Structure 1
Amino acid sequence: MRVLISADMEGTAGVAIWEQVTPPDLARRPAPAEYEWARTLMVNEVNAAIQGARAAGATEVIVNDSHDGMRNLRPGDLSPDAWLISGNRKPFGMMCGIDQGIDAVMFTGYHARAGTPNGVLAHTWTLWVRDVRFGDTPVGEYGLNAAVAGHFGVPVVMVAGDEMAVRQTQELLGDEVVGVIVKYGVGTTSARHMHPSRACQAIAEGAAEGLRRKDRIRPYTPNYPLPVTITLDNAEAVDLALLVPGTERVGDTSLQYIAEDGVDLIRRWQLIIAAASGAAR
């Protein structure tokens, strides 16, 4: 049984502010030392998920570094029982590896969608994406990534992160998905945290339980063709995003495309984000 772990950082226990999750080379000002210990907390939670997956029968675990820059996990800190995918601009983004015969997906360090009250460091992909909807349903990264997994017939069996991330993921994918809440937001940049060692224990147990439930959890497959509506931070960003074929403006700062399947969904999403990133900010 092959497991893919999509590892983000903002949902990690102990993390609450942007400086803690910003790699030094991407910081607009000198990055504080907090990033270094925060990435250690991140890899400890990933290792806990690997441990739980192995205990429940996983024969191979692939970890995809899915946080900013996608090279936050130091290879030597990762469990030797796992493979690591690192580096940016890769196929399927946060779900790179999903096309390699995966049987189950786990999310670690996940956060809520953009604009979520009490969602710790809540955003969707970037700070300038304001809203994403599948039809009328608002989604975050958890929804985009679950749809990619669903395209390949793979269920998301466990999500670990802050309270709102877990609740939003289960609301979209179903309560059978194991949710491990490691902190509770008391604002966008503040939280009440579980102790890191307890968080890791809960994640290991959640990962094992998720695999035990695997056959009861349906892969997430929205109804295609699927209208995907994206609201950005300014009109110029939409101007640039409209260079992507198949997009149309549906508001001053919103655009839409029709995804034919999960692969089309994520590929055009990646193109739109790349194009819109050129807007003045």
Structure 2
Amino acid sequence: MKVLISADMEGTAGIVAWEQVIPPELAVWSRPAPSEYEWARRLMLAEVNAAVRGARAAGATEIIVNEAHDGMRNLRPDELDPDAWLISGSRKPLSMMAGLDESVDAVIFTGYHARAGTPNGVLAHTWTTWVRDVQFGDVSVGEYGLNAAVAGHFGVPVVMVAGDEQAVRQTQELLGEAVVGVIVKYGLGMTAARHLHPARACAAIEQGARLAVSRAREIPPYRPAYPLPVTVTLDNAEAADLACNVPGVERAGDTSVRYLAEDGLKLYRRWQAVMQAAAGATR
């Protein structure tokens, strides 16, 4: 049994502020808070290690942790559970889902957050702060949906999500109630929450991962109907102008673009290209 853990940070128990999750060397619009970032990254690591322990207890023989948060080098390799492989670095194939292929049996999301614009979604966004919405057909999705789509392309189910209440709810609404959800905090706004103690959060994640991996074969991969129209709404017209330079992408509105995805892998790769092109408007 081979398990991939996609590890984000904003959904971690105890975290409520951008200053806590942005590595100081990457801070642009947010004032860096090195001391808070350092303890926040330890909380992230503890939840990842809890997921590793749970997966191992359920019989996983190979566990890959893919760093999926800003900069993608927030986890200290020397403190990661030694049974896990680590993929880190920001310029890697499939980004948040690096390490995924047909040999993987199950995917776990840790530290996940709700999609952009979600009320009471702690630090809710989709990939970046200048994306307003992503729709598969007429269904709005967040990073959980984009990542589940590429997993589904390889026939791999997402079996668990850990994060804030809204992230868990949205993921299960899209992927099904069979996906194990571990709520580690309840949003009281975008930058406030009621948290489990980190130790209790880790215990819940370990238990959830054990359950999820043990029933991985009962959870179907996410496979929306293709060809699938994907609409991306950005926060300014210039970003949409630049996104339209990607082959197959066309204007869908004042600040929106659309493309037709033939399968989950092409959906994800074109999404990455759109983000890279549109980022030129924010520099």
| Shared fold (TM-score, shorter chain, > 0.5) | yes
How far residue 32 of structure 1 moved from its aligned partner, in angstroms, is: 3.3
Structure 2 length-normalised TM: 0.98
Q: Find the aligned partners of 2:8 and 2:182 in 1 and give their Cα distance.
A: 14
Runs of 4+ in 1 over 2 A off after TM superposition: 28-32
Q: Residue type matched to 2:155 in 1?
A: G
Q: Find the aligned partners of 2:128 and 2:214 in 1 and give their Cα distance.
A: 34
Q: What's the counterpart of residue 260 of structure 1?
A: 262
Aligned-residue sequence identity (percent) comes to 74
Q: What's the counterpart of residue 188 of structure 1?
A: 190
Q: What's the counterpart of residue 15 of structure 1?
A: 15
Tell me, yes or no, if the aligned pair for 1:124 and 1:141 is still in contact at 8 Å.
yes
Q: What's the counterpart of residue 143 of structure 2?
A: 141
Q: What's the counterpart of residue 39 of structure 2?
A: 37
Q: 1:200 to 1:71 in 2, by over 3 A?
A: same
Q: Find the aligned partners of 1:148 and 1:31 in 2 and give their Cα distance.
A: 34
Aligned residue among 72, 75, 86 for 2:74: 72
Q: What's the counterpart of residue 162 of structure 1?
A: 164
Q: Residue type matched to 1:22 in 2?
A: I
Q: What's the counterpart of residue 27 of structure 2?
A: 27
Q: Find the aligned partners of 1:30 and 1:221 in 2 and give their Cα distance.
A: 40
Tell me, yes or no, if the aligned pair for 1:176 and 1:213 is still in contact at 8 Å.
no
How far residue 216 of structure 1 moved from its aligned partner, in angstroms, is: 1.4
Within 5 Å, give how 1:1-281 maps onto structure 2.
Answer: 1-28=1-28, 29-99=31-101, 101-280=103-282
Secondary structure (helix, strand or coil) at the match of 1:106 reads strand
Q: How many residues are aligned here?
A: 281
- Kindly provide the CA deviation profile for residues 25-65 of structure 1, in whole angstroms up to 9, marking residues without a partner as x: 11124433100000000000000000000000000100000
Q: Residue type matched to 2:3 in 1?
A: V
Q: Find the aligned partners of 1:250 and 1:279 in 2 and give their Cα distance.
A: 18
Tell me, yes or no, if the aligned pair for 1:6 and 1:108 is still in contact at 8 Å.
yes
Q: 1:13 to 1:280 in 2, by over 3 A?
A: closer
Tell me, yes or no, if the aligned pair for 1:157 and 1:214 is still in contact at 8 Å.
yes
Secondary structure (helix, strand or coil) at the match of 1:278 reads helix
Secondary structure (helix, strand or coil) at the match of 2:34 reads coil
- Kindly provide the CA deviation profile for residues 200-254 of structure 1, in whole angstroms up to 9, marking residues without a partner as x: 0000000000012211110000111010000000000000000000011010000
Q: Find the aligned partners of 1:41 and 1:99 in 2 and give their Cα distance.
A: 28
Q: Find the aligned partners of 1:244 and 1:156 in 2 and give their Cα distance.
A: 29
Q: Find the aligned partners of 1:48 and 1:157 in 2 and give their Cα distance.
A: 15
Secondary structure (helix, strand or coil) at the match of 1:33 reads helix
Q: Residue type matched to 1:12 in 2?
A: T
Structure 1 length-normalised TM: 0.99
Q: Find the aligned partners of 2:125 and 2:109 in 1 and give their Cα distance.
A: 16
- Kindly provide the CA deviation profile for residues 91-150 of structure 1, in whole angstroms up to 9, marking residues without a partner as x: 111000111610000000000000000000000000000000000010000000000000
Could you list the runs of 5+ residues in structure 2 that have no partner in the other structure?
Answer: none
CA RMSD in angstroms comes to 0.8
Q: Residue type matched to 2:256 in 1?
A: S
